[in-house]
Chains A and B, each alone.
Chain A
Amino acid sequence: MIRTGTRYRMLALFVAPALVVYVAFAVYPLLSSVGMSFFDSGGGESTFVGFGNYVELFTNPTTSERFWNALVNNVEFFLIHLLVELPIGLLIAALLTSGRLRRSVGVYRTLLFIPATLSVVIVGFLWRLIINPLWGIVEFPLLGNEATALPTISLMSVWQYLGIPMVFLYTALLAIPDDVVEASRIDGAGAWTIFWRIKFPLIAPQFGLITILTYIWTFNGFDIVYALNGSAPGPNYSTDILGTFFYRSFFGSSGQVADLDLGATVASVIFAIILVTTAAYFWVLQRRLKTYEL
């Protein structure tokens, strides 16, 4: 038995390298970006303006319209992932562990995971060609119509990242001991009942976790939209999400001067949106998802 003091010292020693790197490359930039949002750096020197940039963001008719539009689009982007990617991921994970695929489990698992390893630029390019009215399989301009553009892009992203929730839930399902399942089968439960009454409650915490991770990923989303539609994603900003709105503010666009303060403000708002929801989720919901001791 090591004395507590030494233990803490050892603990600090082991944590230190990761902590230093994390603070230097994640915490510090984050805080300094939040700090930047309270300053106005126009004209060469920066002056403290308090919440001035935030007031500007939410009251200027143009920026506030673009912001709310991006937020609503981002919610839609998230909901499509939530309602399409997660159920399909769960379904496939359930099929993979059901034993019906016998020896081909590995093949399917690999095939379904491959898109997640592709570059988003390649995925965007492939799908853009597949649905291209000139050379593709549909004549309807899916990406050029305000109503269909965002769902189309979201589904491309769903297609690409389906493997992530699948593998996540697959490993959770694998961890369920066979004897529990067998016992329920002996008690007369069918496959449907076994899944929803035995297996799903056991993986509920993981399902909750992948939900909140999907939320974080989609609200930090940027790449697929940027790869397909650039930093002013049309038509009529119908595919603009918070990530592209931030990029446009911070880095500027064609003739627009980059506004670092506004960009930092947008970044801080995105951070707050993600932080609040994630924290609320962990405090309120995740605790109530019962973890069954097996």
Chain B
Amino acid sequence: MRSKLAPLATLAVAALGLGLAGCAAGGSGDGDTTKIVLGTWRTEDAAMWENDIIPAFEQSHPGITVEYAPVDTNDYNAAIQSQIEGGTGPDVIMCRPFDVNRSWIEQGYFDSLAELDAISTFPESALTAWEGDDGTPYCVPVASVLAGFYYNTAIFDELGLEVPTTQAEFIDVLDAIKEDGTYTPLALGSADGWQLAYNMLYQVGPNAWHGEDGRLGLIDGTKKLTDPDFVEGFRVFDSFKDYLPKGYESISYEDMTQLFTLGQAAILPDGSWQISQVTSTGLDVGVFGAPPAAAGDQRYQQEMADMAFGLNAAGKQKEAATEFLEWLGTPEFQQLYVNKLPGFFSMGSEPVSYDDPLAQEFADLKEGAELTSRLALDRLSAGQPPLDDEIWRVAQLMYNSGLSPEEATAELQKGLDSWYTPAG
């Protein structure tokens, strides 16, 4: 018996020894370089960071090496929270916009960045998503995303259509495509609630509720969702449901993109992050923003603060991490970043040029428009029921079960009233 087990035991001990040796080798770094770790949820950008951006930083900052450590976006919040509580958090932490970040600030996860030079290169509006209640900046903005209506220029030419400049013209365009019957007017399904909210309601609604006026009004309690402006925004959203493909109730986000890229639909409401996808089949695609109700009215454009980086208050390499954060404010980084990742836009004051023509077209939508954030992500979703999740659900009910704009807004306001006390 003993003789049979002996080789196995030796093998086990050897394997264990090798493993330990491996750990030891991995653990000891050389003395003169400092390693900082970036915590992020952008798993899909790992190659871009590792091949282009981090080398650019390391070249100009000898002595610092950067490790990109992504966590799947769904688990990111919980992962960061448990890492920081356990004292193993990354040196530089990617910041979620608004409520999640505000709770992280309150927990003391971040150091204030008020002293950072990079902060002054951003306009105040770019910083709000990551500020503390007293207006102290805690994160350096990296990128925002925009929402728009992609359109197939070949279909528009074939049917002799023009890009609409008012809401009424928009409906006329959709009617014309529907009447022709060859193409689906609007590539939109209601299977994914977030899609209805983020790319439709929060895109067409701000023209009715006057963007930030309405959004901040809800937050400070001077406005209610049942006010005529908001009901009107929901009504405009509702008016698009006559132009959807058959069986739209179970058409998911991926299906819509596919319907559009196969050239079977004329218009796709979507975010700028889809630029590469939408043009992947070689379609000639243009983009327009949600048109205002009447010609000459102020136009509102959804710009969603998406990514920023903050400094871990318990980090061990704060000096190197601060150097990295300073670098994020430089045009060098921003030019590199937005062109490696078409569909994401710099939030800095300095103009940045975009190599991708569609990205440039998207960036041009910001011209002459008031920028506004997604309606319900700031403060209004920090309790039960979270307004944002409720809007997903109610938007689906409006499209699937005929809930009216009045009923929808009344239900949402009731849910909000059950827990929210205005920030005042």
Q: Is A251 an interface residue (CB 8 A)?
A: yes
Q: Is A256 an interface residue (CB 8 A)?
A: yes
> What's the nearest-Cβ distance from chain A to residue B310, in Å?
16
Q: Which partner residue on chain B sits nearest A64 by CB separation?
A: B384
> What's the nearest-Cβ distance from chain B to residue A247, in Å?
8
Contact A139 B246 (CB under 8 A): yes
Interfacial residues of chain A within 118-135, with CB under 8 A of chain B in the complex: 128, 131-135
Q: Is B397 an interface residue (CB 8 A)?
A: yes
Q: Is A145 an interface residue (CB 8 A)?
A: yes
> What's the nearest-Cβ distance from chain B to residue A194, in Å?
46
Contact A141 B99 (CB under 8 A): no
Contact B99 A257 (CB under 8 A): yes
Q: Which partner residue on chain A sits nearest B378 by CB separation?
A: A255
Q: Is A35 an interface residue (CB 8 A)?
A: no
- In the bound complex, CA of A140 to CA of B255 (Å): 15
Contact A134 B77 (CB under 8 A): no
Contacts of B393 in A (CB 8 A): 232, 234-237
Q: Is A220 an interface residue (CB 8 A)?
A: no
Contacts of A145 in B (CB 8 A): 249-250, 400
Annotate B197-208 by CB proximity to A: 1 below 8 A, 0 otherwise: 000000000000
- In the bound complex, CA of A216 to CA of B192 (Å): 29
Annotate B234-258 by CB proximity to A: 1 below 8 A, 0 otherwise: 0000000000011111111001001
Chain B: how many interface residues by the 8 Å CB criterion? Answer: 46
Contact A144 B415 (CB under 8 A): no
Contact A141 B247 (CB under 8 A): yes
Contact B377 A255 (CB under 8 A): yes
- In the bound complex, CA of A254 to CA of B81 (Å): 16
Q: Is B420 an interface residue (CB 8 A)?
A: no
Majority secondary structure of chain A interface residues (helix, strand, loop or mixed)? loop
Contact A256 B251 (CB under 8 A): no
Q: Is A44 an interface residue (CB 8 A)?
A: yes
Q: Which partner residue on chain B sits nearest A263 by CB separation?
A: B78
- In the bound complex, CA of A252 to CA of B393 (Å): 16
> What's the nearest-Cβ distance from chain A to residue B274, in Å?
17
Interfacial residues of chain A within 192-238, with CB under 8 A of chain B in the complex: 229-232, 234-237
Contacts of B386 in A (CB 8 A): 253, 255-256
> What's the nearest-Cβ distance from chain B to residue A146, in Å?
8
Contact A133 B392 (CB under 8 A): no
- In the bound complex, CA of A135 to CA of B372 (Å): 37
Q: Is B376 an interface residue (CB 8 A)?
A: yes
Annotate A58-95 by CB proximity to B: 1 below 8 A, 0 otherwise: 00111100000000000000000000000000000000
Q: Is B297 an interface residue (CB 8 A)?
A: no
Q: Which partner residue on chain A sits nearest B380 by CB separation?
A: A255
Contacts of A255 in B (CB 8 A): 98-100, 376-377, 381, 386, 388-389
Q: Which partner residue on chain A sits nearest B249 by CB separation?
A: A144
Q: Is A188 an interface residue (CB 8 A)?
A: no
Q: Is A260 an interface residue (CB 8 A)?
A: yes
Partner of A133 from the list B192, B247, B415 (CB cut-off 8 Å) is B247
Are A234 and B193 CB-contacts (below 8 A) given A252-B77, A252-B78, A255-B99? yes
Contacts of A135 in B (CB 8 A): 255
Contact B397 A236 (CB under 8 A): yes
> What's the nearest-Cβ distance from chain A to residue B269, in Å?
17
Contacts of A63 in B (CB 8 A): 384
Contacts of A258 in B (CB 8 A): 77-78, 81
Interfacial residues of chain B within 372-399, with CB under 8 A of chain A in the complex: 376-377, 381-382, 384-386, 388-389, 392-393, 396-397
Contact B252 A128 (CB under 8 A): yes
Q: Is B190 an interface residue (CB 8 A)?
A: yes
Annotate A261-279 by CB proximity to B: 1 below 8 A, 0 otherwise: 0000000000000000000
Q: Is B75 an interface residue (CB 8 A)?
A: yes
- A residues lining the B interface (CB < 8 Å): 43-44, 60-63, 128, 131-135, 139-146, 229-232, 234-237, 250-258, 260
Q: A235-B393, A257-B99 are in contact. List 17 more A-B contacts (CB 8 A).
A: A44-B107, A132-B247, A132-B250, A132-B255, A134-B258, A143-B249, A145-B250, A229-B191, A230-B192, A235-B193, A235-B249, A236-B401, A251-B78, A253-B386, A255-B389, A257-B77, A257-B100
Q: Which 3 A-B pairs have the closest CB atoms?
A: A133-B247, A144-B249, A144-B250
